[in-house]
Amino acid sequence: MKKDENKHARNKLILKILGSLFALGGLALAVVGFWSFFGAMNNEEIPDLFWCCFVGFPLLVVGLWLLMLGFRRELAQYAKNESAPVFNQAAQQIKPGIEAISSAVNQGMQAKCACPACGEENESEAKYCKNCGAPLKKICPNCGDETAADAKFCDHCGKKL
Ligand SMILES: [Zn+2]
Ligand SMILES: [Zn+2]
């Protein structure tokens, strides 16, 4: 077991070193490529080092990927030990605020619908006016969908109502 873990650690180290090299090399190449590209654009020349971008970016991606593999355990541990309790605590503290905001947003989203007969504002899902009892919803004869009573066209199929 011990030997395996050593080997594992060494593999991780190789991943980290290779990842850093690839990422840094890729970044450098990408920067050189861009620098050449924009330099050439300004001087109206052909960007002779633009190919560096094409080599640099995949290299950078591979490097970051290797780094991620190398640091996966650390990242997982960090996520488990460090950020989770902090995050939970923060979540507990901001939860009432978020709930207040989301309920406000919900209420805002539930557009009130005005009664076509008396103008009373009713909840959007209300079927009859709470003030005068007039129907607030109309059933489309074409598709059977429910639309507002004052709708001129079905908002589902577009039929004139
Ligand atoms: Zn009404
Ligand atoms: Zn319809």
Rounded distance from Cα 97 to ligand 1 centre (Å): 35
Taking CA 41 as the corner, what is the angle to CA 40 and CA 45, rounded to the nearest 5 degrees?
Answer: 45
Judged against a pLDDT cut of 80, whether residue 80 lies above it is answered with no
Instruction: Say what the pTM is.
Output: 0.41
- Ligand with the closest atom to the CA of 120: 1
pLDDT of residue 153: 93
Rounded distance from Cα 118 to ligand 2 centre (Å): 25
Taking CA 75 as the corner, what is the angle to CA 72 and CA 80, rounded to the nearest 5 degrees?
Answer: 125
Cα Rg, the chain, nearest whole Å: 31
Contact in structure between 103 and 42 (CB atoms under 8 Å): no
Q: How far apart are CA 58 and CA 51, in angstroms?
A: 12
Q: How far apart are CA 130 and CA 136, in angstroms?
A: 10
- Ligand with the closest atom to the CA of 140: 2
Rounded distance from Cα 121 to ligand 1 centre (Å): 8
Contact in structure between 100 and 110 (CB atoms under 8 Å): no
Q: In angstroms, what CA-CA distances link 93 with 68, 87, 98, 105, 106?
A: 31, 10, 10, 20, 21
Q: What are phi and psi of 18, to 5 degrees?
A: -60, -45
Rounded distance from Cα 126 to ligand 1 centre (Å): 11
Most confident range, picked from 15-29, 48-62, 71-85? 15-29
Rounded distance from Cα 142 to ligand 2 centre (Å): 5
Q: What is the mean pLDDT of residues 40-57?
A: 75
Q: How many helices (H) and strands (E) does the chain have?
A: 4, 4
Q: How far apart are CA 157 and CA 161, in angstroms?
A: 11
Rounded distance from Cα 100 to ligand 1 centre (Å): 30
Token pair belonging to 110: 């539930």
pLDDT of residue 4: 67
- Ligand with the closest atom to the CA of 143: 2
pLDDT of residue 82: 60
**Amino acid (1-letter code) at residue 41:** M
Q: Mutual orientation of helices 51-70 and 2-43 as an angle, nearest 10°? A: 160
Rounded distance from Cα 156 to ligand 1 centre (Å): 24
Judged against a pLDDT cut of 80, whether residue 24 lies above it is answered with yes
Contact in structure between 56 and 26 (CB atoms under 8 Å): yes
